Amino acid sequence: MSDEVTLFEVCVDSVMSAVTAEDGGASRIELCANLGEGGTTPSSGMITAVLKRVKIPVMVMIRPRGGDFCYSEEEFEVMRLDLEHVKKLSGVYGVVFGILKPDGSVDVERVTKLVEIAKPLKVTFHRAFDMTNDHLKALHDIIRIGGIQRILTSGHDTTVLEGLETIKELLKHSGDHIIIMPGGGVRESNISRILSSVQLKEIHVSASTKFSSSMEHKITNIHMGKALYDDEYLVGGVCKEKLMGMINAAATIKK
């Protein structure tokens, strides 16, 4: 494993970002809507449009809302329906989800149900993992469920760099059973330090920036929602230079 290159998964919320990620060297895409709340299930049209434009594998986020990961019956039903819809869209490589119980443990029963429905799609258990009450128990629960290829995690901490010791512990306990894919706060300024201190098969980045809107007529006293209060004329997206910078940094370390 020691001479393997670390693969980059890039989270995107637009066709343009998906294309940019592929051009920039991404090995895989995690397709979301609403990255401002950490990513929710994209619309059907967004999935279809991205599949038409990129050749690299596309993982689709299945998350019915922002916030915590303890879902109502209705929300679980939405996840189930979205999963069934995504399966029908030929070309999707996998799905990304995570469900917890109120006590902070993995909701094994519900996750198992979704994994069954997802087959033969690949499955990533996302950063709901970082909100669990016991990361080793959560790891073993997820491995035991089966059918889940990887866990996206910031090491039970604010960012990957802060959670690095826990990530090492998870790598040790995961063995060949599941891929630990660190993600959260990975940037050009820290990727070399991360990859120098831990050997990773895969890493998850956003490599994002803000692009100016193409609107010329701008109105500043009307807002569509409070989340974007200051920047309704800025749109987030993948920055090819940032992504390539990180991929190059990773390649240098692995030489």
Interface of this chain with a copy of itself, residues 148 to 207, rule: CB under 8 A: 154, 156-159, 161-162, 165, 185, 187, 189-190, 193
User: Pick from 55, 172, 215, 255: which binds a copy of itself (CB under 8 A)?
Assistant: 215
Kindly state whether residue 44 participates in binding a copy of itself, applying the rule CB under 8 A: yes
Kindly state whether residue 235 participates in binding a copy of itself, applying the rule CB under 8 A: yes
Query: Half-sphere exposure of 252 toward its Cβ, with a 13 Å CA cutoff?
Result: 11
Pairing of strands 28-31, 7-12: parallel
Contact, 53 vs 18, CB < 8 A? yes
CA-nearest of 125, 78, 68, 127 to 101 is 68
Tokens 């894919």 sit on residue: 181
Kindly state whether residue 121 participates in binding a copy of itself, applying the rule CB under 8 A: no
Pairing of strands 208-212, 234-238: antiparallel
Question: Which two tokens mark 173?
Answer: 């306990």
CB nearer to a copy of itself: pick between 198 and 232: 232
Taking residue 109's Cβ as centre, other Cβ atoms within 10 Å add up to 10
CB nearer to a copy of itself: pick between 53 and 119: 53
Contacts to a copy of itself from residues 48-107, by CB under 8 A:
48-49, 53, 64-70, 72, 74-75, 77-85, 100, 102-104
CB nearer to a copy of itself: pick between 67 and 120: 67
